[in-house]
């Protein structure tokens, strides 16, 4: 049961949010389907297909097992124009043998995804493997633990004062404040989002600033999605009045302050690297940011500055060389002397970042 001080919070997604499960699925498990002229990716019900084929056509069933067996051989590609995996099997084998069975399989999928990468035929068949977003009952949501972790980092950011602290004192100070924050945060509670997203969005993502092949596909909660959750404070006012009085306004102030500093850093990075779409994105949400409606970054792809105190440390050092020395002394990142971080995970073809959402009270 919630305390009387519980607050309903609205969360609006401004750039795709990916919170992975560690699971991924291959094109042996999905196919493409047209809905009102729009191509969607459909996650198939493999158990349903297996049972039907086993009972109706054993030869097709064995072919289906071969498709599944070779699933992890399907890699993401750049210039593939031919159907692969399950889509090819359904189209060339099942539809040819039994058209009614083919359409029955299409109707009984687990869920469908909006295809934000690959609506053109030469693009969509590049998708070989997709990292799965966290779900309940096949609907994507944001766990309260992810919200709490991001908010915790914002609160810690506001509590630290690293200016004029020597490098060897910084790590000790962060550890001390972290320990103090543990007991405080036990009383700040954030539920999972109530409403799930029925159709996740598939985006291609890769890291800017590296020569390594980082090209991957993610199942995400798309821009424009509105989700809701509750915040409540479980501290006993008779035992800890200070914590019990800590409300959503206090949290929003910390989130706002942290996000404003992050925006400055991200805009600077975009300017230096000629990433004009990225710069425009941050300039736009910078104008929308306020204490009453602050932005916070959630999920994977948020970057080291958003999930740690590295921005705090960076801003408190007297020079880039001093910051580089701190990193090198503590084994953080590679031993290079230019700005940190070097890479950013961005959406292919748009240079949009991942994970930015705006919070507000849901009155």
> What string of DSSP letters covers 161-191?
--TT--HHHHHHHHHHHHHHHHHHHTTEEEP
- Would you say 113 and 43 are in contact if contact means Cβ atoms under 8 Å apart? yes
What lies within 8 Å, CB to CB, of 310 at 6+ separation is 304, 332, 340
Q: Phi/psi of residue 232, each to 5°?
A: -145, 150
My answer on whether 113 and 152 are in the same domain is no
Q: How far apart are CA 32 and CA 126, in angstroms?
A: 12
- Find the length of the chain: 363
Question: 34 and 108 share a domain?
Answer: yes
- H-helix segments, 108-239: 121-124, 144-159, 167-185
pLDDT at 78 (0 to 100): 57
pTM, to two decimals: 0.88
Q: Are residue 58 and residue 26 in the same domain, yes or no? A: yes
Task: Count how many domains the chain has.
Answer: 2
Give the pLDDT score at 74.
Answer: 67
Quick one: 100 and 186 in the same domain? no
Kindly state whether residue 39 falls inside one of the protein's structural domains.
yes
Using the Cα atoms of residue 311, residue 314, residue 317 and residue 318 in order, give the sign of their dihedral. negative
Shared-domain flag, residues 33 and 182: no
**Nearest C-alpha neighbor of 341 from the set 296, 298, 306, 299:** 306
Q: What are phi and psi of 30, to 5 degrees?
A: -145, 165
Distance CA 67, CA 49 (A): 12
pLDDT in tens, the chain (363 residues): 444 578 999 999 999 999 999 999 988 999 988 888 888 999 999 999 999 999 999 999 999 999 998 766 666 665 556 678 899 999 999 999 999 999 999 999 999 999 887 555 456 777 888 999 999 999 999 999 999 999 999 999 888 877 777 776 777 888 888 888 888 899 999 999 998 899 999 999 988 888 777 888 999 999 999 999 999 998 888 888 888 888 899 999 999 999 999 999 899 999 989 999 999 999 999 999 999 999 999 998 887 777 777 777 777 766 667 777 777 666 666 655 556 677 789 998 889 999 999 999 997
Domain residues for 148? 144-191+230-341
User: Dihedral of the CA atoms 49, 50, 55, 57 (nearest 10)?
Assistant: 80
- What pLDDT was estimated at residue 267? 94
128 and 160 belong to one structural domain: no
Residue 240 lies in a domain: yes
């Amino acid at each position: 049961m919630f305390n009387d001080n519980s607050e309903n919070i609205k969360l609006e997604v401004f750039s795709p949010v990916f919170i992975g499960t560690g699971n991924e699925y291959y094109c042996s498990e999905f196919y493409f389907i047209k809905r009102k002229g729009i191509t969607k990716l459909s996650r198939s019900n493999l158990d349903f297909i297996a049972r039907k084929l086993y009972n109706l056509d054993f030869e097709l069933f064995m072919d289906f097992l071969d498709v599944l067996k070779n699933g992890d051989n399907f890699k993401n590609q750049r210039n593939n124009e031919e159907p692969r995996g399950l889509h090819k099997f359904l189209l060339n084998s099942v539809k040819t043998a039994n058209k009614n069975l083919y359409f029955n399989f299409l109707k009984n999928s687990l869920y469908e995804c909006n295809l934000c990468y690959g609506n053109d035929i030469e693009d969509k068949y590049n998708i070989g493997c997709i990292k799965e977003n966290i779900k309940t009952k096949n609907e994507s949501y944001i766990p309260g633990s992810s919200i709490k972790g991001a908010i915790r980092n914002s609160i810690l950011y506001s509590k630290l004062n690293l200016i004029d602290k020597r490098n060897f004192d910084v790590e000790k100070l962060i550890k001390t404040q972290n320990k103090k924050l543990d007991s405080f945060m036990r009383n700040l509670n954030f539920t999972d989002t109530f409403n799930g997203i029925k159709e996740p969005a598939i985006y291609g993502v890769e890291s800017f600033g590296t020569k390594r092949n980082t090209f991957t596909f993610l199942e995400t909660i798309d821009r424009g999605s509105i989700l809701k959750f509750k915040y409540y404070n479980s501290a006993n006012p008779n035992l800890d009045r200070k914590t019990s009085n800590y409300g959503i306004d206090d949290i929003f102030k910390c989130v706002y302050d942290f996000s404003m500093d992050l925006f400055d850093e991200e805009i600077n990075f975009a300017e230096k690297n000629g990433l004009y779409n990225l710069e425009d994105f941050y300039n736009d949400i910078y104008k929308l940011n306020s204490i009453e409606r602050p932005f916070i970054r959630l999920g994977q792809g948020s970057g080291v500055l958003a999930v740690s105190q590295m921005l705090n440390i960076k801003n408190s050092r007297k020079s880039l060389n001093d910051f580089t020395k701190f990193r090198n002394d503590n084994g953080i990142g590679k031993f290079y002397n230019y700005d940190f971080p070097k890479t950013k995970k961005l959406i292919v073809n748009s240079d949009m970042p991942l994970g930015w959402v705006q919070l507000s009270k849901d009155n």
